[in-house]
Amino acid sequence: MTDHIWAGWRAAFVTGESKPGDECVLCAIAKDDDLDQRFVVSRGDLCYAVLNLYPYTSGHLMVVPKRHIGTIGEIERAEAEELFRFVGYAVAALSGPVGAEGINVGMNLGKPAGAGIADHLHVHIVPRWTGDANFMSTTASARVLPEALPDTLARIRSAWPAF
C-alpha cells in the first residue's frame, strides 16, 4: 500500500491559474476590498503586504507595489520607500509573534529566476527556523504548513504597525 499526500490547493498554481487576457492576480488583490479573503496583511498608499497562497513555510509574505510594474528600473522613489518600509514591517512581525529565527528577503526577477508572476514586481519575505528544510520538500515536492493561512494572517496583523 502506498501513502499519498494530497495538496489539491496547489492545483491552480500547477496548472496555470490565469489565462492569457486575465487580469494580473497581484493587481486584482490591490483593488479587492475583501482583505481577509485575499489574505492582505496591510495596505499603504502605494504598496501592500499579502500572505503567499503557495508558501514555502508558514508566514511567507510578499510586499507588492499596487502599480503594475515588472522591473526594478520602473519603480518610483516613493514606491520604493514604501515597499522597503513594508519589508521592514514584515521582518519585524515575523521575528516577533511568528518567532522566526531567520528570514529570507528576495525577488525572483524573470521566469528563469523562478518568478511565478514575472510581470509584476514583488518582494518575498520568508521566515526560517533551524532545521525547517525537512525531507518533504526534497522527497515529495511538498511543503508541510503547521498553521492555516487565516491563523497566520491574524498573528502577523497583530504585530503590524498601524499607520
68 is catalytic: no
Quick one: 90 exposed, middle or buried, by C-beta within 10 A (0-12, 13-18, 19+)? buried
CATH classification for the domain delimited by 18-159, as one of 1.10.1050.10, 3.40.50.360, 3.40.50.410, 3.30.428.10: 3.30.428.10
User: What φ, ψ does residue 130 adopt, rounded to 5°?
Assistant: -55, 125
Q: Which member of 4, 60, 120, 122 is catalytic? A: 122
**Residue 105, beta-bridge partner list:** 125
Per-residue pLDDT of the chain (163 residues; tens, 9 = 90+): 444 444 544 444 444 554 555 789 999 999 999 999 999 999 999 999 999 988 888 899 999 999 999 999 999 999 999 999 999 999 999 998 788 999 999 999 888 888 888 899 999 999 998 877 654 454 445 555 567 778 888 888 888 876 4
Residue-wise pLDDT tens digits, 67-83: 999 999 999 999 999 99
Quick one: 44 exposed, middle or buried, by C-beta within 10 A (0-12, 13-18, 19+)? middle
